[in-house]
Amino acid sequence: MGARGLVLGIVGGVATILALLLRAAEPALAPLLRLWRLARLRARVDGTVPVTTQFDGAVETSGRLRLELGAHCRLGRRVFLETCEGGRIRVGDHVRINAGSFVVAYSEVLIERDVLIAEYVSIRDADHGLSAAGLVRQQPHTAKPVRIGAGAWIGRGAVVLKGVTIGAGAVVAANSVVTRDVRPMAIVAGVPAKEIRLRDGAPASPGPRAGANEGETAGATQR
């Protein structure tokens, strides 16, 4: 065996030993890791983060965060939460926000109890102004509150724009862009999202309801 093979063998052996040690220590370290993540989020929050909060990984924030988190919520890896210009995020009990999702509030984002939010969802209650008189990035944000009703399910990669109310028990299909209100128990899909049917099998409504927000498609703000 050459010197290179000897070195690779030693490195492989050390890696195996470390893996076995980590596997044995993981049950003991898991509570400490959860405690660290809880303390880390609480240090950044003006509001409430209950001790019952579960973490799949570290939660990312930008600056101080105005957050009211309900009991028994679970936050996925790399979830990003941000509140700007007096905005706040309110989350009910038993809410699941999966990996890579963004929730950003300039006014208010309200997520009621038992909501399930899949991976890489974007929920933002504001977008930039679009006046031709100046650069988009230099224009102030326009904000309208977002509300997601109890028991709703937001599918992977969906985008929820400002001013939208998603009714209780509604389902938003993966990769949809929600630009107007969604009825309770409705299933919506597409860009922009349109009602397919109700969960009880009733047919879709004939068209947009009065006061709908369709056309507000710039809300997935990137800064």
Amino acid at 58: A
Taking a C-beta distance cutoff of 8 angstroms, is the pair 73, 95 a contact?
Answer: yes
Report the C-alpha dihedral over residues 29, 31, 34, 39, rounded to 10 degrees. -110
CB neighbour list of residue 111: distance below 8 Å, 6 or more residues apart: 89, 90, 91, 92, 95, 97, 103, 117, 123, 148
Q: Which residues are part of the catalytic machinery?
A: 128
Q: Who's near 88: CB < 8 A, 6+ residues apart?
A: 47, 66, 67, 68, 105, 108, 109
Give the DSSP H/E element, type plus range, for residue 159: strand 159-160
* Cα-based angle 58, 109, 86 (whole degrees, multiple of 5): 90
For 191-205, b/e burial (b = at least 16 CB within 10 A) is ebbbbeebeeeeeee
